Structures are given as structure tokens and as C-alpha cells.
Amino acid sequence: MKADVIDGKALAEKIRAELKSKIEKQGLQVGLAVILAGSNPASQVYVTNKITACGQVGIKSFVHYLGDDTTEEQLVKLIKKLNTDKKVNGILVQLPLPKHLDERKILSHINPAKDVDGFHALNAGAMFLGWEDCLPACTPAGCIELIKSTKVDMAGKHAVVVGRSNIVGKPVAILLLNENCTVTIAHSKTKDLPSVTRQADILVAAVGRKHFITADMIKPGAIVIDVGINREDGRLYGDVDFDNASKVASHITPVPGGVGPMTITMLLKNTVKAALK
């Protein structure tokens, strides 16, 4: 058996084309403000990619570059200004922030209706409650779209999420629950992890360790979603040993080209959703 590779790039392009069409047909004016504080090279690349993606679908981007020495007061003042700017539908603060800035405090100042990253406590709570009008966290929402693209009915399936971060693990577990899956969250303290992962009809790996999930940890025929991005010798590796896992799974996402393209696409989708609201 050889797994079907879930092409995140192709799915992302399809969704982006739909968003572009919606913006054009409805004559929407959509704006995304991106704040980059500090000089993190990886963050600079991510911001450039987000700006490019905005341009492709017809979203106007407003970028604010701030220095490493930016104060909390300066950052909060800018966020409050953007909260009231009618041209801005979405606000994104690129993470991680410089060490002297309190991430939680900063993000709490973003208007939840413009919180297109889905990190505000009100959006996280609304997602927890299953409110469809919330702005869900982008990577978890992308995972759900990738699973849905397989056309496998998710209802009643046992989903195992390996990882419990606030950015991926916990929210993707809630979204799977909202899709009527039976959900188990596993993590570094889970006893006999392989016996837990082998129960999964849907396995989401979000641990941040190269090839942590091996083929013998996967139930034959499972759908495997690999959220991991691990850099080694200039190459990207997932949390799943793709070559061997793809001999066991029915569907699997590659790294790169799986979850990655979907994260930015869900950001665009949230921005359009915020504009329509």
C-alpha cells in the first residue's frame, strides 16, 4: 500500500483562487496590517510571504517594521490605532516578539474582530464553544481543510493529536472535536505513546522533532497530518518519517508542501471573513 500524498500547495491555490473571485465579485476592499518587531530573519521571510500572498488574492497589505528596541507602549499604541482604522480588517503581529515584550499582553490589545491569527482569548474561547463566526487559529484550520480534502467522513473517527501547544495542539484537537471526531491529546509525558498513536484513524503530529513519528506508530490506513517544520543542514523535515509512514498510511501530508501553504491561506481566509463581518 502506498499512501495518497495530500497536496497542500494545490489545495491552497484552489482556496486562494476562490478568495480572489469572492473579493472581485463582491467588490470588497480588504486590508491586512502586519507588524514586525525586531530583526528575526525567519520572521522577515514569513512576513514577505504573507505580503506576496495578499497581493495574489487582492488583499491590500499595510506593513509596519519596528526595531528590536520597540517598547510595549509603542507597540500597543500602534495596535490601538489599527483597531480603529477602517481600511484595516485584519491585524497580525508576527511572532516571536523580541524577548523584552510580553506576547500575551500585546496580543490581548488586538480587536478580536480583527484578530486574523486567531490567538486572542475571545477567538480561542469562541472556537472552543464551536461558534462558526469565530476566527480560528490558522495552522489548525489548515489541518482540518487538508483532512476534509481526502473526502473521508471524519464523524466518529478516532483522532490523536501529538502535541499540546496553544498554537497547534490544543486548537486542532478542539476543531477535530467540532467535526465529531473522538479526540485524544498525547504529549511528551504520555505513557507508551506508540500504543496511543496506533489507535488513530487520523493522526496529527505537532511536536517539533524530526521524524519523531515512525511507521510502526501508525495504524494501517490512517490519515497522517504532519505539522512539524524542523530545519537541519539547510533542509526541512517533518515530525513524521514520511518515506516509511507513507507505506502504512492511506493519506499523508509532505514537508514541505503540506500544512505550510495552508497556514498562510487560512490567514487570507480569516482576513476576508473579517472584512465580510
- Tell me the pTM: 0.95
The C-alpha atoms of residue 114 and residue 126 are separated, in whole angstroms, by 14
Domains annotated for the chain, with CATH where assigned, are 27-111 (3.40.50.10860), 137-259 (3.40.50.720)
C-alpha 247 chain-centroid distance: 26
Residue range 141-152: mean pLDDT, rounded: 98
Q: Binning pLDDT at 50, 70 and 90, where does residue 111 land?
A: very high
| pLDDT tens digits, 199-257 | 999 999 999 999 999 999 999 999 999 999 999 998 999 999 999 999 999 999 999 99
Give the pLDDT of residue 253. 98
How many other CB atoms sit within 10 Å of the CB of residue 104?
A: 9
Strands 251-252 and 4-5: parallel
The C-alpha atoms of residue 223 and residue 248 are separated, in whole angstroms, by 10
**CB contact at 8 A, 164 and 29:** no
Q: Is it the case that residue 39 has pLDDT exceeding 80?
A: yes
- The 10 Å CB-count burial string (b at 16+, else e) for 107-117 is bbbbbbbbbbb
Q: Binning pLDDT at 50, 70 and 90, where does residue 186 land?
A: very high
Q: Is it the case that residue 1 has pLDDT exceeding 90?
A: no
Give the pLDDT of residue 102. 95
| pLDDT tens digits, 59-83 | 999 999 999 999 999 999 999 999 9
Cα dihedral 112→69→103→263 (10° resolution)? 70
The C-alpha atoms of residue 258 and residue 226 are separated, in whole angstroms, by 8
| Catalytic residue set | 50, 94, 117
Beta carbons within 8 Å of 54's beta carbon, 6+ residues apart: 32, 60, 61, 268, 271
